[in-house]
Structure 1
Amino acid sequence: MSAQDSGEIITLLQMRLHSLNDLALTLKHIHWNVVGPHFIAVHEMIDPQVDQVRAMTDDLAERISTLGGEPNGTPGALVRDRTWNDYSIGRAESIAHLGALDLVYTSIIEDHREAMQATETTDPVTQDMLIEQLRGLELFQWFVRAHLESTGGRLSTTGAKTEAAAADQATDQARKQP
């Protein structure tokens, strides 16, 4: 692999590292701030996701090092480099957090897919790692969406552009159900 290709992949992986570090923190935030009738189900669903996302960050950091880079996992670097805002939901009912989390997962999965495609020809080893991570991230999103879908397959967060809007839509839909 050329030094230029390696540098580009390192930059790409650093952003994925920031994204997944942020996701792990967001998941813990949800874990601590979820309330309501489905508290325990969501509270206990989140911790295994945190553990697996943290393992993904370790894989990313080690791949960056393997390619000759220096992974930066500091909070300052994450805040400085990120292109997204902090998670916006505080203490809230389970369904509200799940609605917002669905949007978080969508964004992370889309960016991970772009990274996967960008490494297809230059670094299939990195691409393979990203594919495996996508498998886990998509599984977690399915767990979240199972709480947000109607039996007809309608997702309560459809069309929401912000976490707050997704949280509100999910909550409204849940309150309409018998």
Structure 2
Amino acid sequence: MAQDLTPQYTVPGIELEAAGRLIGVLRTRLHALNDLHLTLKHVHWNVVGPHFIAVHEMVDPQVDRVREMADDVAERIAALGGVAQGTPGALVSERTWDDYSIGRADAIAHLGALDLVYTGVITDVRAAVKEAGEVDPATEDLLIEQLRDLEQFQWFVRAHLESAGGKLATAGVSTETDAASRGGEVG
């Protein structure tokens, strides 16, 4: 049974039920961002191989920005009159995706898997932008700003996975394990 997220109050100009729908969308975004932050840190800690330092140093600014995004989403939830559920238990019980599946691995393997993670996150943010745009331009704007940054981060990842001819090693894969194994097929 879906939880009723309708707040007791919200920002001026938004109906309470609409605010409740936005809060639901933003809670999922909050969980995705908290999960992405932890996944990026996991990659940072478990990357090995000849591209170690490049990936290790590329990921930390992404971690910092994703943490800022999560904070912005949590504050928007609160402004709309909702409760920002930022606990690990809420994340795990409410998420609709599986946990990151790659442990200690070569940098390119992690980047292959991370490309798939970013694809999922970006796809979901695009859907959230559309839903928010029907109700609240401020929430829509927040999500669009985050979308731009997430797409740039995926571009950074994909630059390591793309051949000089423009072929993406992870094209067409559907699992992190497949993406990790295909990441090494650049060239």
The alpha carbon displacement at 1:121 in A equals 2.4
Q: How many residues align?
A: 174
Quick check: 1:152 aligned with 2:169? no
Tell me what 1:55 maps to. Answer: 68
Quick check: 1:111 aligned with 2:129? no
The one-letter code of the counterpart of 1:119 is: A
TM-score using structure 2 length: 0.92
Q: 2:99 aligns with which of 86, 108, 116?
A: 86
Pairwise CA RMSD of aligned residues?
A: 0.6
Task: Write out aligned runs for 1:26-45 (5 A).
Answer: 26-45=39-58
Query: SS where residue 50 of structure 2 aligns?
Result: coil
* Structure 1 outlier segments of 4+, above 3 Å: none
Tell me what 1:7 maps to. Answer: 20
Tell me what 2:140 maps to. Answer: 127
Counterpart-to-counterpart distance in 1, 2:134 and 2:100: 34
The one-letter code of the counterpart of 2:110 is: H
Q: Extract unaligned runs of 5+ from structure 2.
A: 1-13
The alpha carbon displacement at 1:117 in A equals 0.4
String of CA shifts for 1:35-73, please: whole Å, max 9, x gaps: 000000000000000000000000000000000000000
The alpha carbon displacement at 1:152 in A equals 1.2
Q: Extract unaligned runs of 5+ from structure 1.
A: none
Counterpart-to-counterpart distance in 2, 1:153 and 1:134: 23
String of CA shifts for 1:98-139, please: whole Å, max 9, x gaps: 000000000000000000000112101000000000010000
Structure in which a larger fraction of residues adopt helix: 1
Counterpart-to-counterpart distance in 2, 1:84 and 1:115: 16
TM-score using structure 1 length: 0.97
Counterpart-to-counterpart distance in 2, 1:115 and 1:6: 14
Tell me what 1:21 maps to. Answer: 34
